[in-house]
Structure 1
Amino acid sequence: MLEDKAHKYETAVLVGLITQHQDEEKLVEYMDELEFLADTAGATVIKRFTQKLTQPDPKTFIGSGKAQEIRDYVKENEVGTVIFDDELSPSQLKNLEREIEVKILDRTNLILDIFAQRAQTSYARTQVELAQYQYLLPRLTRMWTHLERQKGGIGMRGPGETEIETDRRIIRDRISLLKEKLKTIDRQMATQRNNRGKVVRAALVGYTNVGKSTLMNAISKSEVFAENKLFATLDTTVRKVVIGNLPFLLTDTVGFIRKLPTQLVESFKSTLDEVREADLLIHVVDISHESFEDHIDSVNQILMEINAHQKPMVMVFNKIDDFSYEKKEEDDLTPETRKNISLSEWQKTWMSKSKYPTVFISALTKENFPEMKKLIYDEVLKIHISRFPYNDFLFEYHEEEEND
């Protein structure tokens, strides 16, 4: 029983670097996010270790003194896992495991583990398995602690094939098989997208845990899984939505994250195709998060990488229920920070002057929903009229329908 409890509540420490490209403030943000990732994966973080280096050590990522400090701490406190905020090279991973003598994970491995836990459908599981194998292949040597054994016998007296090479070949074969399987499913999903005809398609995009699934449920009156965890949604969900009397398709997609593993970008190609082929992007932002501007930049960067950055877009700033409308009475000497700025003051910033239509809402309380729906309606109607220029008279927005 104790073993089950210990396994369920695995303890971990986090490790991050302050470098010339990442100052202390930025590191704190990343470490906060890493702790949230660890919590989502099922680990309890009990300590953080940071070090200031010009650049990561090519052998162990951190300095030898810091590695010894971490080793002493994890032994003394019986910590089972050390999680690094950046992706480690195969040699760094191997050297750290030898030095610290506990399980070492990097940010990429942690995200892959969460994806493996969250994948519900066969398609999502296949995507995650492919990403895991692609991550594992160059790191395979660290899994073997025994001596390499040569296969002998007649016709096998040459160098032969080591067990590691055998496993590499098996994994490469598995990767090829999974890629072919995904290609088949991708073709099926592309056919499904084509069969949706000329109906306007909108896709919810945004950083992970900003409330996309909650918003999807509220707009489409469906039951998409939503939870206050990172990557609660992995499987693409498409629902038919009618605002006023104008129908369109709404897609909920996997959330983005900073330092998104390249293996996942490749594996989740079909999910990203839903974004690439959408007519309208609804970019959902958690305005209550202190790093929401960085989140916007991260999402825009990924949209640029998949060549979807020039699409029509609506900016939806969510979670306004975490703000007051007016600034609270405080001492004039109290410095203005993100914590005490009011919603009305936020609305006067660059956000309201964005080149995209912008609205501030709460998906939880449905505050400002009529305004948001009217905004989405207007953008969908523009696209619809461009396709069917002679039947725009059929659609008329009735605000009273949105107030029930």
Structure 2
Amino acid sequence: MGAPLKTLHEGVAEEHLEELTRLTDTAGGQVVDVVRQRLDAPHPRFYIGKGKADELRECVAAVEADLVIFDDELTPAQGKALEDLIGVRVLDRAELILDIFATRARTGEAKMQVELAQLQYLLPRLKRMWTHLSRIRGGVGLRGPGETQLETDRRMISRRIADLRKKLESVIQARAIQRQSREGNFRVAFVGYTNAGKSSLLRALSDSDLFVEDRLFATLDSSTRSVDLGEGFEALVTDTVGFIRKLPHHLVASFRSTLAEAREADLLAHVIDTSHAGWEEQKRVVEDVLEDLDLGDRPQVLIFNKIDRLTHAEEEALSRRIRAFNTTPAVFLSALRPDTLA
């Protein structure tokens, strides 16, 4: 379900929906229909208008869908109201991203980070999930005010959040010790939009066997490799988790230990998928996230990747444009073409 504001350019709005389709595919779902509405402002009850919500319900019934995914974040009340009206599970973009992260986390650290983000997202939405449970009545062995299942779950989740934060703090300290052992080395962190080719580039530069897949969020765990710079110099290059538009803030916060590698780097290498029609917006999204992480003022180089997908004329035009209007150093290459990596 796409419900962008009318101020958003139509082409950009469609690109957002295409990305939501890719996210759904990555999560293992299949898109059977798309419903759209342009909004002046989100409606308090359903996010979309009541008429469009009724249309969405009819569409779900017609195609026998068992899940509705909104491209924008819903409040707990909006999610519950929509589920009550439509009769199927309703997710928003943030919850879908969290689900993808949960399925793709490989290390213990990544799994803890994802679980923390999921629980922080879930906590204010528990009421929506437990409305069918009623208050325990008094009786023999159950005298007193009693408590709801909701209250019990809130306490359990709050304790688990505190436990995860404590464990992740230990991971952060261990990573800090690791980074101290690397002092004296020139450190580079690859940052960029998801699927920009960061892992492929690091694998090509380091001649290593890094996991690479042409899917969103193939990499959740940071990996560091030594890269030969020539003339006796080398750098330690770290591949970090990719960013995406409308990335949940608590998810970024949960991955603080992973993104600390970027904070400690001497240089941020912003990898951009040059072949993507919306690379400029993706570039802005990454820059905004870096600002949120207080990394916007770090030394950077722009790496325009995937030039193998451009014609020679397109590559030349892009190069002239970037060098004319951009002050940040930029290089143009393809992780799949060794001749561009020298």
Q: TM-score range by the shorter chain?
A: over 0.9
- Closer, same or farther: CA 65–367 of 1 in aligned 2, 3 Å: farther
Count of aligned positions: 341
The answer as to whether partners of 1:151 and 1:162 remain within 8 angstroms in 2 is no
The answer as to whether partners of 1:317 and 1:361 remain within 8 angstroms in 2 is yes
Residues in 2 aligned to 1:220 and 1:87: alpha-carbon distance in whole angstroms? 39
- Closer, same or farther: CA 308–70 of 1 in aligned 2, 3 Å: same
RMSD across aligned positions (CA): 1.5
- Closer, same or farther: CA 160–34 of 1 in aligned 2, 3 Å: same
Residues in 2 aligned to 1:241 and 1:344: alpha-carbon distance in whole angstroms? 28
TM-score (norm 2): 0.96
Q: Which residue of 1 aligns with 2:17?
A: 31
What aligned pairs does 1:230-249 form with structure 2 within 5 A after superposition? Answer: 230-244=216-230, 245-249=232-236
> What is the CA distance between 1:354 and its match in structure 2?
2.3
Residue 341 of structure 2 corresponds to residue 354 of structure 1: no
Q: Which residue of 2 aligns with 1:281?
A: 268
SS of aligned partner of 1:272: helix
- Which letter does structure 2 place at the counterpart of 1:354? N
Q: Which residue of 2 aligns with 1:128?
A: 114
SS of aligned partner of 1:215: helix
Q: What whole-Å deviation, never above 9, does each CA across 1:112-154 have from its counterpart, x for those lacking one?
A: 0000011000000000000000000100112124241225347
> What is the CA distance between 1:367 and its match in structure 2?
4.1
> What is the CA distance between 1:161 and its match in structure 2?
1.2
1:60 aligned residue (24, 43, 46): 46
Percent identical among aligned pairs is: 49
SS of aligned partner of 1:247: strand
Residues in 1 aligned to 2:186 and 2:316: alpha-carbon distance in whole angstroms? 33
- Which letter does structure 2 place at the counterpart of 1:27? A
Residue 330 of structure 2 corresponds to residue 344 of structure 1: no
Which protein shows a greater Rg? 1
Q: What whole-Å deviation, never above 9, does each CA across 1:40-76 have from its counterpart, x for those lacking one?
A: 1111112111112211111111111111111111112
SS of aligned partner of 1:56: coil
Higher mean alpha-carbon deviation, 173-182 vs 63-72, is at 63-72
Q: Which residue of 2 aligns with 1:209?
A: 195
For structure 1, the residue ranges without an aligned partner over 5 or more in a row are: 1-14, 327-341, 371-404
- Which letter does structure 1 place at the counterpart of 2:20? L
The answer as to whether partners of 1:352 and 1:358 remain within 8 angstroms in 2 is no
2:209 aligned residue (213, 216, 223): 223
Q: What whole-Å deviation, never above 9, does each CA across 1:332-352 have from its counterpart, x for those lacking one?
A: xxxxxxxxxx21111111345
Residue 84 of structure 2 corresponds to residue 98 of structure 1: yes
The answer as to whether partners of 1:318 and 1:362 remain within 8 angstroms in 2 is yes
Q: What whole-Å deviation, never above 9, does each CA across 1:251-308 have from its counterpart, x for those lacking one?
A: 0000011111011111000111111110011111001111101111111111111111
SS of aligned partner of 1:347: helix
SS of aligned partner of 1:113: helix
- Which letter does structure 2 place at the counterpart of 1:286? D
Residue 308 of structure 2 corresponds to residue 321 of structure 1: yes
The answer as to whether partners of 2:198 and 2:271 remain within 8 angstroms in 1 is yes
TM-score (norm 1): 0.82
Residues in 1 aligned to 2:66 and 2:6: alpha-carbon distance in whole angstroms? 31
Q: Which residue of 2 aligns with 1:252?
A: 239
Residues in 1 aligned to 2:22 and 2:114: alpha-carbon distance in whole angstroms? 20
Q: Which residue of 2 aligns with 1:173?
A: 159
Residues in 1 aligned to 2:239 and 2:226: alpha-carbon distance in whole angstroms? 12
Higher relative contact order (CA 8 A, sep 6+): 2
Q: What whole-Å deviation, never above 9, does each CA across 1:207-256 have from its counterpart, x for those lacking one?
A: 10000000000011111111110000000101122221102211000001
What aligned pairs does 1:136-175 form with structure 2 within 5 A after superposition? Answer: 136-150=122-136, 152-153=138-139, 157-175=143-161
The answer as to whether partners of 1:151 and 1:161 remain within 8 angstroms in 2 is no
Residues in 2 aligned to 1:368 and 1:87: alpha-carbon distance in whole angstroms? 41
> What is the CA distance between 1:93 and its match in structure 2?
0.5
Residues in 1 aligned to 2:264 and 2:59: alpha-carbon distance in whole angstroms? 50
Residues in 1 aligned to 2:338 and 2:89: alpha-carbon distance in whole angstroms? 44
Residues in 2 aligned to 1:272 and 1:351: alpha-carbon distance in whole angstroms? 29
Q: Which residue of 2 aligns with 1:197?
A: 183
Residues in 1 aligned to 2:235 and 2:38: alpha-carbon distance in whole angstroms? 51
> What is the CA distance between 1:157 and its match in structure 2?
4.2
Residues in 2 aligned to 1:220 and 1:151: alpha-carbon distance in whole angstroms? 65
What aligned pairs does 1:302-321 form with structure 2 within 5 A after superposition? Answer: 302-321=289-308
Q: Which residue of 2 aligns with 1:264?
A: 251
Residues in 2 aligned to 1:91 and 1:20: alpha-carbon distance in whole angstroms? 23
Residues in 2 aligned to 1:352 and 1:364: alpha-carbon distance in whole angstroms? 27
For structure 2, the residue ranges without an aligned partner over 5 or more in a row are: none
> What is the CA distance between 1:159 and its match in structure 2?
3.1
